[in-house]
Amino acid sequence: MTKFQPVNRKIKFKDWIAFENDDYIVINKPAFMSTLADRKGEICVLDLSKDYCSDSSVCHRLDKETSGALLIAKSKDAYKHASKQFTERTVEKTYHAVAEGVHQFENEIIDKPLLIAPSGSVRISASKGKKSSTVVSSLEYYKFHTLVSCKPITGRMHQIRIHMASVGAPLMADLTYGGKHLYLSELKKKYKFKTEKEERPLMSRVALHAFSLKFIDLQGNEQYIECPYPKDFRVVLNQLAKNI
């Protein structure tokens, strides 16, 4: 039997719940929490969901840094039902991201095969990569950035991040794939430095949020759930809007 870590009682799993019925839960996952257990042995979403509902299973994954909508099944039957939809690619996942540069995307399909190397790195490979497709649309324009909607048709590791970088629109703070940190001093002309402290970036993680999820529940009903932006994402958008 798998042993789960004792849950930190200061973490309130119930506060993350965006949707719940008899068979499923959708949480608004906070950034910097792993979906499943990692090598560091830190508390993960699965641990917390098991504490809330002992038969629960996570139906898909979000990167540790990524916040937003995550589907959890409350039984084996519910998990099988959801897994079938993910396999058949009928679950609609929509991510919002802040891309560097001003770009006009209108349901643009980025179709570039991705290869996961033995080292764990991911890259585009026309000869060896697996088919990977993302539909991208622009939502808001700022002075040097664009808020975009990304709908992955496939679900490859780092797919959105690599696809956006491949069209010259890397995600803000995605240092792995060409993005850069954004500082308030870059936006405000009269920004006053605090000489005793090093300036911190407005966002310390990749600017990517799983905004919504659409699936069919065990009763045959279509469920569409939106997850509000977390504080760090809202702060970035507010600052970008103020300094156009």
Residues identified as active-site: 63
Q: Is 97 helix (H, G, I), strand (E, B) or coil?
A: strand
Helix segments in the chain, DSSP class H: 45-52, 76-87, 159-166, 184-187, 231-242
Structure tokens at 81: 């039902």
Largest CA distance in the chain: 60
Q: Please state, in angstroms and rounded to a whole number, the distance separating the CA atoms of residues 111 and 93.
A: 17
Distance CA 220, CA 223 (A): 9
* DSSP, res 7: P
Q: How far apart are CA 148 and CA 54, in angstroms?
A: 37
- Comparing C-alpha atoms, which of 34, 81, 66 is closest to residue 223? 81
